[in-house]
Structure formats: structure tokens, C-alpha cells
Amino acid sequence: MHRSVGVVVPAYRPDVERLATYVAAIDERCAPTTIRIELDAPRSGVADRLADLSATVATSPHRRGKGRAITAGFEALDTDVLAFADADGSTPADSLADVIAPVEGGGADLAVGSRRHPDATIARHRTFARRRLGDTFAWLARRLVAPQLFDYQCGAKAISREAWERIREHLYEPGFAWDIELVAMADAFGLSIEEVPITWHDQPDSTVSPIETSVALAQGLLAARHRAALITESRLHGAIAARREAPTALVDAGRPDR
């Protein structure tokens, strides 16, 4: 049975030529039903320069954060499989196709691209500081959330429509911590998760700030652990939640009654 595929590419102040080349490669290699670029805070003329691509370009005048942008993109898709890839092209189109395949074929509810998998290929390494921070976060995540993965934050994942419908109302992280929250929630709901080794090309001119992002990821990791425990009916975490104001899920944040 054929399953339609939609790909979201969240982009904040992207290198336009690199993004255009990457989207064209995704279109050729993955042949998705639709590609949707979620473009945040674009400079003048950027949206027009992307208009000729085989993609829908949705713009936001301000920076929403990766998690909020992907969520908006997924909500706009009507395909059987929902996938995303970071706009810098660190995950080549061939590897993105590998990530989509287990979900498209029905073998997994969520597929997670992995730069740290033993079978992954690192074509271009990150700086020592970025690599060390990433390794430390992955080590900590394996001790605080399930499942046990090599890599939680790689910018390429795919999820089935059915799985997304189950967890969409339980995602709150607007930024980079959205990735690990997605994984933690999928596991809490008993969904099948497959980690897929990829080829990785690090982009040295990334807009990600290692220190600020690390702090936000640590906070998001603890929040994801707490929310996953609520799903599995932890009494301790239920008591903690009862004393806090309930947050607004990303899918609810834009509704008129909020």
C-alpha cells in the first residue's frame, strides 16, 4: 500500500542557495507528495527567491523556534507520513530517504536519524566544543528518558500520521528540545521507534548557539522526562504537575480561545 509523504523544512535566516539546492535534492531523491518550508523571520526578498521551488513556503515574521515551526508544518500536512529535515542540509537527501523508509513501509511509528549510531558516517565533523556538548547531552538523555538511543537531536525524523495524532497534544517545547520531547512522548505511548544511521555533514556556519542551546536542551530534557512520566501515570510526577499551572500545548497555542 502506497503511503503519501510530506516533508517539513524549518528555516531561520537560511543560506538561500543551500536551502534551494537541498529542497531540490529532497524532491528528487525522496519524491514526497509535498514539501513545506517553514520560514521564520525572513529577510526581504527571501521568500520570493524560494518561490520557484517544488515546495510550499509558509512565512512567519518572527522566530518561532524549531519545535513550533515543525509542529505548524505537520499540522498543515495531510499526508500519511510526516517528516522533517533541518534547512542547513546536514542530513543529505539520501539519508533522509533512509529515515523515512521505516515509517513509509509500516515498520516503525517513529524513525529517528542518528549521527552517533555506530554505523553512521560523519563526512564533516563539528568543532570539539560542539561535539563534546552533544555527546554530554546524549549521555545524560540516555539516563533520564526512554528509549535508549545513540542520538536524540539529529535534525531528521519521520512519524506516521496515526502516531502524530496520538502525541501532538502532548508536545510543548517550542525550540530545539522538541526533538527529545517527541521521542520521549512516542515511547511513553508505546509507539515503535527505529534509530536510523545517517551520513552527517556538519555546517560550521550554523545559527545555533552551543551554550544557549545546551541550557535550553537541559531544561527541555527535564521537562520531557516529567511529561513522559505523567503519561505513564507516575504518582510523583502527577503530584508535581498538580501544583503547577498547566502549560499550553503547541497545537493549542494559536487557537482563538487561548
Across the range 119-126, mean pLDDT stands at 80
d(CA 133, CA 139): 10
What integer pLDDT is reported at residue 215 of this predicted model? 79
Lowest mean pLDDT among 34-38, 198-202, 209-213, 245-249: 209-213
Residue 204 has pLDDT above 70, yes or no: no
**Within a 10 A sphere around the Cβ of 71, how many other Cβ atoms?**
29
* Residue 205, pLDDT score: 57
Average pLDDT, the chain: 89
pLDDT (tens digit per residue) in 2-32: 899 999 999 999 999 999 999 999 999 999 9
| pLDDT above 70: percentage of residues in the chain | 87
pLDDT, average across residues 217-222: 90
User: How distant, in Å, are the alpha carbons of 30, 71, 74 from that of 14?
Assistant: 21, 19, 20
The SS3 assignment for 14 reads: coil
Given a cut of 50, is residue 257 above it in pLDDT?
A: no
Q: What is the dihedral of CA 200, 168, 144, 123, to 10 degrees?
A: 0
